[in-house]
């Protein structure tokens, strides 16, 4: 019989399973899964054993089996090297029980969308991705399929066009057979202050970042209703909840998307469809480089000075890496987080946006 329990990694419980052999109440075999990197120590969590300095040989992988030879008691601690979780580059599976599921990720050819696609595929999910440019889209699909052995379906679509959104969902559904997860991610919105933003800037901002999400939802939700289950993760942005006068166009589009996420959860709960929004602060992607360049131009700063503004507004002193956002999205997309519904989560290192505006003012 399989038993479950938990060990501890740097104070956090880590699930383990599989205790087919327990002798005299002591576990002689267990399997561990965790995603934080290779532990440098494995030892029993009882004072006598620790005093005796009985530690085990470090395991080499993120999924490993301990046996009587290296597990001295029935509670185990894994000690990770400091900062190991940050060194992880999304190459360790979290084992979220997602094998065999299917997902659509918009804007999956680059940046955060590509990282989300890779993490989902590593968790065993088949994914359809879309973007406007065929070549990078197909390259990404082939690369992730090769790395993960999952089906990654590239479908060219410009989500500012209603017919492309419809075609993306139709083709993806036909290729994958069902749609368990929708990750709305493709979006961009011009930064800048009110007097710099043109009518076209505002229209463009809402066209993709808000209406692109609406269009995909319109076609995906009826499919999820028929399935009697579905999960939607809307990748939005912290500008919608942390106001900044330099980012009013993204702020407006984000607030609209956040409102949409919360509103739809009331309507579709009866169909067993749940919704969550993820609000990143600055994340290191090519788009971020473009935003820093625009900031440097508008504020008459060097690129290096402009690049320092965001980290200075974040207590953790750096911007996010794409894998950090992707890992959160994968967890939220899994059944483990299905009940996290009609709400949103910031992943921005605790950024203080007002401070960023003040630094721009100086
Ligand atoms: N990076 C950040 O700092 C940050 C912060 C907060 C929120 N976000 C949000 O996170 C999401 C991803 O951002 P990112 O930085 O990863 O962007 P990115 O690196 O620019 O990638 C955007 C992806 O979307 C695709 N795309 C762009 N326009 C599209 C369109 N009209 N139709 C379909 N696909 C389109 C792009 O491919 P093609 O160009 O070939 O179409 C690409 O695959 C966006 O919604 C963004 O607002 C990002």
State pLDDT tens for residues 96-132: 999 999 999 999 999 999 999 999 999 999 999 999 9
Q: Where are the beta strands (DSSP E) in the chain?
A: 4-9, 12-17, 22-23, 26-27, 29-33, 41-44, 55-56, 63-67, 76-79, 102-106, 126-131, 152-156, 181-184, 230-235, 273-280, 343-347
- State the sign of the Cα–Cα–Cα–Cα dihedral 22, 23, 27, 29: negative
Q: What is the pLDDT of residue 26?
A: 44
The atom number, within ligand 1, closest to the CA of 115 reads: 16
Split at pLDDT 50, 70, 90, the class of 95 is: low
Q: Is 309 in the pocket of ligand 1 (CB under 6 A)?
A: no
The atom number, within ligand 1, closest to the CA of 159 reads: 32
Q: Which of 139-153, 293-307, 311-325 has the lowest mean pLDDT?
A: 293-307
Q: What is the mean pLDDT of residues 138-156?
A: 97
CA dihedral 65, 68, 72, 73 (to 10 degrees): 80
Counting ligand 1 atoms within 8 A of each CB, the residue from 104, 111, 279, 295 with the most, and so the one to mutate, is 111
Residue 140 near residue 114, CB atoms below 8 Å: yes
Residue 231 C-alpha to ligand 1 middle, in angstroms? 21
Counting ligand 1 atoms within 8 A of each CB, the residue from 104, 105, 106, 107 with the most, and so the one to mutate, is 107
Split at pLDDT 50, 70, 90, the class of 289 is: confident
Query: Which of the two residues, 359 and 204, has the higher pLDDT score?
Result: 204
Nearest-CA residue for atom 24 of ligand 1: 107
Hey, how many other C-beta atoms are within 10 angstroms of the C-beta on 293? 13
Bridge-based pairing state of the strands 343-347 and 4-9: unpaired
Residue 285 C-alpha to ligand 1 middle, in angstroms? 9
pLDDT at 47 over 70: no
Q: How far apart are CA 74 and CA 110, in angstroms?
A: 45
For the record, the structure tokens of 187 come out as 């979006």
Q: What is the pLDDT of residue 54?
A: 44
Q: Is 159 in the pocket of ligand 1 (CB under 6 A)?
A: yes
Residue 38 C-alpha to ligand 1 middle, in angstroms? 32
Mean residue pLDDT of the chain comes to 81
Residue 92 C-alpha to ligand 1 middle, in angstroms? 24
Residue 213 near residue 165, CB atoms below 8 Å: no
Q: How far apart are CA 204 and CA 208, in angstroms?
A: 7
The pair phi, psi for residue 105, each rounded to 5°, is: -125, 115
Residue 107 C-alpha to ligand 1 middle, in angstroms? 6
Split at pLDDT 50, 70, 90, the class of 309 is: confident
Q: What is the mean pLDDT of residues 150-172?
A: 98
The atom number, within ligand 1, closest to the CA of 140 reads: 43
Residue 106 C-alpha to ligand 1 middle, in angstroms? 9
The atom number, within ligand 1, closest to the CA of 253 reads: 47
Q: What is the mean pLDDT of residues 137-157?
A: 97
Bridge-based pairing state of the strands 126-131 and 152-156: parallel
What Cα–Cα distance (Å) separates residue 149 from each residue in 99, 122, 132? 12, 8, 24
Q: What is the pLDDT of residue 10?
A: 39
CATH superfamily of 102-361: NAD(P)-binding Rossmann-like Domain (3.40.50.720)
Listed by start position, the domains of the chain span 4-87, 102-361
Counting ligand 1 atoms within 8 A of each CB, the residue from 140, 141, 187 with the most, and so the one to mutate, is 187
Residue 117 C-alpha to ligand 1 middle, in angstroms? 13
Q: Is 140 in the pocket of ligand 1 (CB under 6 A)?
A: no
Residues 6+ apart with CB under 8 A from 351: 238, 242, 281, 282, 310, 313, 314, 315
Q: Is 160 in the pocket of ligand 1 (CB under 6 A)?
A: yes
């Amino acid at each position: 019989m399989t038993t479950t329990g938990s060990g501890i990694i740097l104070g956090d419980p880590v699930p383990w399973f599989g205790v087919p052999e327990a002798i005299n109440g002591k576990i002689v075999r267990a399997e561990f899964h965790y995603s934080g990197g290779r532990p440098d120590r494995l030892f029993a969590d009882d004072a006598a054993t620790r005093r005796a300095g009985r530690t085990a040989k470090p395991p080499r992988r993120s999924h490993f089996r301990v046996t009587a030879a290296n597990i001295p008691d029935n509670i185990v601690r894994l000690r990770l090297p400091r900062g190991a979780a940050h060194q992880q580059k999304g190459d360790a599976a979290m084992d979220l029980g997602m094998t065999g599921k299917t997902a659509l990720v918009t804007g999956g050819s680059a940046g955060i969308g590509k990282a989300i696609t890779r993490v989902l595929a590593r968790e065993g999910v088949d994914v359809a991705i879309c973007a406007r440019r065929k070549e990078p889209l197909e390259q990404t699909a082939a690369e992730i399929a090769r790395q993960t052995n999952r089906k990654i379906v590239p479908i060219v679509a410009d989500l500012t066009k209603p017919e492309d959104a419809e075609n993306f969902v139709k083709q993806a559904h036909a290729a994958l057979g069902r749609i368990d997860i929708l990750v709305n991610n493709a979006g961009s919105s011009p930064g800048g202050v009110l007097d710099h933003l043109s009518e076209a800037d505002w229209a463009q901002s809402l066209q993709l970042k808000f209406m692109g999400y609406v269009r995909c939802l319109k076609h995906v939700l009826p499919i999820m209703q028929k399935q009697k289950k579905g999960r939607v993760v809307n990748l939005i942005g912290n500008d919608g909840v942390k106001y900044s006068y330099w980012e009013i166009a993204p702020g407006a589009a984000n607030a609209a998307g956040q409102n949409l996420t919360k509103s739809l959860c009331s309507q579709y709960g009866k169909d067993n469809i749940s919704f969550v929004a993820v609000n990143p602060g600055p994340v290191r992607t090519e788009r971020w480089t473009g935003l820093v360049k625009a900031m440097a131009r508008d504020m008459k700063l060097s690129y290096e000075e402009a690049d320092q503004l965001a980290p200075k507004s974040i207590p953790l002193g750096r911007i996010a890496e794409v894998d950090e956002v992707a890992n959160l999205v994968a967890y939220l997309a899994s059944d483990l987080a299905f009940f996290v519904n009609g709400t949103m989560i910031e992943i921005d290192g605790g950024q203080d946006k007002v401070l960023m505006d003040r630094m721009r003012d100086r």
